[in-house]
Amino acid sequence: MLTLYFAPHTCALASLIALEESGLPFKTKKLNFAETEQRSPEYLEINPKGRVPALVTDRGVLTETPAILAFIAQVAPTAQLAPLDPFEFARMQAFNNYICSTVHVNHAHGRRGSRWADDPAAHEAMKAKVPQTMTECFEIIDEKMLEGPWVMGEYYSVADPYLFVMTGWLRSDGVDPARFRKATAHYAQMMERPAVQRALELEQA
């Protein structure tokens, strides 16, 4: 059985939603970041990066959200969570990698500045930049990348939970989500999905 290690209010929510959508049997292990459980020797044996998510499979451990989302989609083909066409699959992966490599990193500059600099003044400068960089990212997403109603148009995929998580962080980044019409509509549609509701209940339990 699959086991997902996650923590509340992190990008691991995307993987949790995807698992709920997949119909696959799985278990969850919740980490308490306030008690730095992600840095415990036990967890570092599972994921030496000390981050979430981590998905334990019968073939080993997977980390990094785009990889986990693609894996879930491919091992649950009947759930149809990713396009079968190679080009369309690559487009989905391009979206997920943009979220991972750019959007999430911009968000992290407001909270994890110590990853990039030691100077407290640099941390404050990074925080001040977050509303601008997140706005720029979502302008691109809303205008050029989010086809609507789902990321891939009419086709719901594992890209949708990932976007849902990032849209949910906008307000805490000093950005009004309402300025992004398609992303706001996408978020509202996601909130109506039973799998999303179940994942949020697990996260908040």
Is residue 115 located within the same domain as residue 55? no
Largest CA distance in the chain: 51
Mean pLDDT computed over 125-153? 97
Q: Do residue 104 and residue 116 come from a single domain?
A: yes
62-73: pLDDT as tens digits: 999 999 999 999
Instruction: Indicate whether 132 and 96 sit together in one domain.
Output: yes
- Split into its structural domains, the chain has a count of 2
Digit-coded pLDDT (tens) for 119-131: 999 999 999 999 9
pLDDT tens for each residue of 73-113: 999 999 999 999 999 999 999 999 999 999 999 999 998 98
CA atoms within 13 A on the CB side of 39: 4
What is the per-residue pLDDT for 171? 98
Handedness of CA 148, 103, 173, 136 (dihedral sign): negative
What CA–CA distance (Å, rounded) separates 94 from 82?
A: 13
Do 142 and 122 reside in the same domain of the chain? Answer: yes
Give per-residue pLDDT as tens, 165-196. Answer: 999 999 999 999 999 999 999 999 999 999 99
Q: Are residues 91 and 163 in the same domain?
A: yes
| Helix axes of 65-75 and 12-22: crossing angle, nearest 10 degrees | 0
Examine the pLDDT at 141 and tell me if it is beyond 90.
yes
Q: Are residues 189 and 200 in the same domain?
A: no
Q: Are residues 90 and 75 in the same domain?
A: no
94: domain range?
A: 86-193
In this structure, the answer to whether residues 162 and 63 fall within a common structural domain is: no
Q: How many CA atoms lie within 13 A of 144 on its CB side?
A: 9
Take residue 44 and report the two structure tokens written for it.
């570092």
Residues 74 and 90 placed together within one structural domain of the fold: no
Question: Domain with 137 in it: what CATH number?
Answer: 1.20.1050.10
